[in-house]
Structure 1
Amino acid sequence: MNTQTLEKLREKLHDNANILGNLLVETFHYIGLFAIGAVTAWAGALTCWEMLHQGTITVDDILLLFIYLELGAMVGIYFKTNHMPVRFLIYVGITALTRYLISDVSHHHRPDMGAVYISAAILLLALAVLVVRYASSRFPSSNTPQGANATDDPERAEP
């Protein structure tokens, strides 16, 4: 075999390996997204069922449902755009810390320095959202098409 034939064979093998690799990676992503979405929906449904069964609803329960909602929104945005919005992860962190703070103060009835630390962490995460939003509006991603609206980019869209 001559060198040119071997080179064409190598290119064809490389192209087929890329196609197969991309198929396997995308399949893994979709299976993972379906699993995360299904588990999030199941956890939300179980939380609702427990609230209805107990007959009482607390602020903790409502904030937990907001966490599930934000996780579901992240999965939905990733399905639509193949882009993971960092802001939503920060929102989940803010909501989780808020839930923890409310739960801690309501159950122990004595705010201490821990409450101040958690509040500072929430403030820090809120500032991180501000920085991410400013950076995404000032320095748009290179894969955002020219002339695209700020609302076309999920990182810059209003929550």
Structure 2
Amino acid sequence: MQIADRTVASFHYTLTNDAGDVVDSSAGREPLTYLQGAGNIVPGLEKAMEGHVAGDVFNVDVPAAEGYGDYIEELVQVVPRKAFAGVDDLEVGMQFQAQTPGGMLPVMITEINGDDVTVDGNHALAGETLHFAIEIVEVREASVEEVLHGHVHGEGGHHH
């Protein structure tokens, strides 16, 4: 069976950056399982998966625009330390939810300079080309419930 909309695919992957450093991998873990066509994985990878079958091994480069998006400078802001009331020890790398006019936005502290705290609302991989090495493990038809819910149920997926 080929990967197409309304199929469930399980795959192993290794994600590297432009320098060749491993950013993430399923090595030594269960394969990642997702519902094709439901936006469960980055768009460029989902598009590249289309038509593949169990046993296929391939590489795909996903440009930033089809991955985690372009890096947006406006999502980097310096806020006063007092904005973190109730948190005594701030550290670079800490993540918070920021209330914005557009709703909640996850941000990460990237710099602390006295009472100035720099936060970045970009995804850690925004602006980067994603280099995937893929091995398709299994492809099956999605259940009606999975299609209606927009994600995989059961082993390797979501459990209600």
TM-score, structure 2 length as denominator? 0.24
Of structures 1 and 2, the one with the larger relative CO (CA 8 A, separation 6+) is 2
CA radius of gyration, larger in: 1
Which of the two has greater strand per residue?
2
